[in-house]
Chains A and B, each alone.
Chain A
Amino acid sequence: MHIRHVILCSLVLVSLLLSACATRVEVDGKFPAALIHKLPLRSIVVFDEAFANYRFESTEGPEVSISVGQIQVELFTSLTDSLFQYSATTTQMPTNSEADLIIVPNVEDVQISMPNQSRLKVFEVWIKYNLQVFEGTGEPVADWIMTAYGKTPTRFLKSDTEALQQASMVAMRDAGAHFITGFARVPEIRQWLRHRSTPTSTTTPTPEVNTQP
């Protein structure tokens, strides 16, 4: 009985020590509305379950877990509200939608770098998105690989959790900046927008788009 207690206590102690070493980050924050002319388009953004619950897990070196699912749903909702005249969100790919564009964001990869790995005084977060863009009919328009990067400097008494939260938020804002400034510059999307704005097109005309001052 005595040995059992010792083993149990040891297990509890070891698990406590292990959990104390792990870094778990639930990224949260708010995004400002983008200062941009709205495109006269109707969009639907599809947030599937994998995207909405995305969690980055790393077991190489110190255990790190960063949950970005909810915050990236908020980010893309805010971005499409700012960029398009009308925008809605859903969790499943719509069929025969009346929207002009359907956007399906996917996380391709997340990488992090901590000061003890890079020997730099910064925490870094990279996120690679694949933004699939479809016409309302479901015809594919573009697969846009969009990268985002965020970093935050180390500071005395700042925890790894706090630093990774800040770096992730910077990466999210960077994703937003890339999306807003780059959307109409993706060759396939630019071509699609041009095609819509030509007089021969049967759809609503779209003026020439310039999201890069």
Chain B
Amino acid sequence: MKPLTALSTLILLLTLSACTTTTVDEYRENSTALTLENGERVVVLGRRHYADYETEPDFIDCIGKKLKADKAISVLPEKEFADLLYPWFEPRTAPLGLKRLAKMLDEPLIAQRFKEQGLHYMIWVDGSTETTDRDGSVSCAVAPGGGGCFGFASWEKTGTYEAIIWDLLALKESGRVKVEARGSSYMVAIILPIPIVAQVQDQACDGIGQQLRTFFRKRANEAS
């Protein structure tokens, strides 16, 4: 009975201690849902022009997966988009504002490629997940008779991201979503190290992905 109690306590401890808090803010240009006609697609892109960080490519993939989860929204993968439009959406050349994008779309080759791909919305995601605090330590040692680790360490991660939706046909901003996720992770080591890791980036992706879907989902509901 005792092992069962210990296991339950440990599971409870893990669940409580590794949780993440997520705050999502959104701004909409108006209450109208963003419409996607048949064959129209959305592309999600990460900002990569800052010197000290870059939006993680796997985070962008994660948002893409969240958006197309119910198959109502068709998403063009970031890598495929960058290859199709090379070299106009590299960190050096990607437009930072709508005016620059409008100028880019004046070039018939680029405009034609956007049309061929059925692109209606572009979502720019900017931010990253950083370790904001770190405490404690874990030491490991190996000796002829065996080895092990001992200690306790904790670290806190914060993921801050902002997604901005651009309407490529109207050439205007349609809305933005900001998400902040925080989570504490722990490492307990008594002979064996046991990491209890908070999934901060996954939670941020979940938060931003769910919220972005609501911008488009209304149109899907209206259609059904």
**B window 85-102: CB within 8 A of A:** 85-88, 90-93
Q: Are B90's CB and A177's CB within 8 A?
A: yes
Asked if A33 is at the interface (CB within 8 A of a chain B CB), the reply is yes
**Distance, CA A213 to CA B103, complexed state (A):** 6
Residues of B within 8 A of A178 (CB): 92
Q: Type the 1/0 row for B96-124, where 1 means its CB is closer than 8 Å to any CB of A.
A: 00000001111101100100000000000
B56 contacts the other chain (CB 8 A) = yes
Q: Give chain B residues whose Cβ lies under 8 Å from the Cβ of A34.
A: 86-87
Q: Which residues of A contact B107 (CB under 8 A)?
A: 213
Interface centre among B58, B90, B104, B113 (most CB of A within 10 A): B90
| Tier of interface size on chain B | 20 to 34
B154 at the interface (CB under 8 A from A): no
Query: Per a CB cutoff under 8 Å, which of A152, A155, A170, A177 touches B87?
Result: A177
CB nearest to B101 among chain A residues: A213
Q: What residues on A are CB-neighbors of B156 within 8 Å?
A: none
**Contact residue among B93, B110, B128, B130 (Cβ-Cβ distance under 8 Å from A177):** B93
CA distance A173 to B93 in the complex (A): 11
Complex CA distance for A36 and B113, rounded to whole angstroms: 11
Number of interface residues of A (CB under 8 A): 23
Residues of chain A with a CB closer than 8 A to B53's CB: 120-122, 153
Q: Is there an interface contact between A35 and B52, defined as CB atoms closer than 8 Å? A: no
Q: What is the 8 Å Cβ interface bit string for chain A, positions 35-62, against chain B (1 contact, 0 not)? A: 1110000000000000000000000000
Q: Using CB atoms, name the residue of chain A closest to B94.
A: A177
Smallest CB–CB gap between A83 and chain B, Å?
11
Contacts A151-B54, A213-B103; is A35 near B90 (CB within 8 Å)? no
Q: Is there an interface contact between A181 and B87, defined as CB atoms closer than 8 Å?
A: yes
Q: For residues 119 through 167 of chain A, which have their beta carbon under 8 Å from a beta carbon of chain B?
A: 120-122, 151-153, 155
In the bound complex, how far is the Cα of B83 from the Cα of A165, in angstroms?
18
Q: Closest Cβ of chain B: how far from A31's Cβ, in Å?
A: 8
Complex contacts, B86 vs chain A, CB 8 Å: 31-35, 173, 176-177
Q: Are A173 and B90 in contact (CB under 8 A)?
A: yes
Q: Do the beta carbons of A32 and B54 come within 8 Å of each other?
A: no
Which residues of A sit under 8 angstroms from B13, Cβ to Cβ? none
Q: Are B85 and A35 in contact (CB under 8 A)?
A: yes
Residues of B within 8 A of A152 (CB): 54
* CB proximity of B107 to chain A, nearest CB, Å: 4
Closest 9 CB pairs of A and B: A177-B87, A32-B83, A213-B107, A177-B90, A32-B86, A213-B104, A177-B92, A180-B87, A177-B93
Query: Can you give 30 A-B contacts (C-beta < 8 A)?
Result: A32-B83, A33-B86, A34-B86, A34-B87, A35-B84, A35-B85, A35-B88, A36-B109, A121-B128, A122-B54, A151-B48, A151-B54, A152-B54, A153-B54, A153-B128, A173-B86, A173-B90, A174-B92, A176-B86, A176-B87, A177-B87, A177-B90, A178-B92, A181-B87, A181-B93, A213-B103, A213-B104, A213-B105, A213-B106, A213-B110
Supplied contacts A122-B54, A181-B92, 8 more A-B pairs, CB within 8 Å: A32-B84, A34-B86, A153-B56, A155-B58, A173-B90, A177-B87, A177-B93, A213-B104
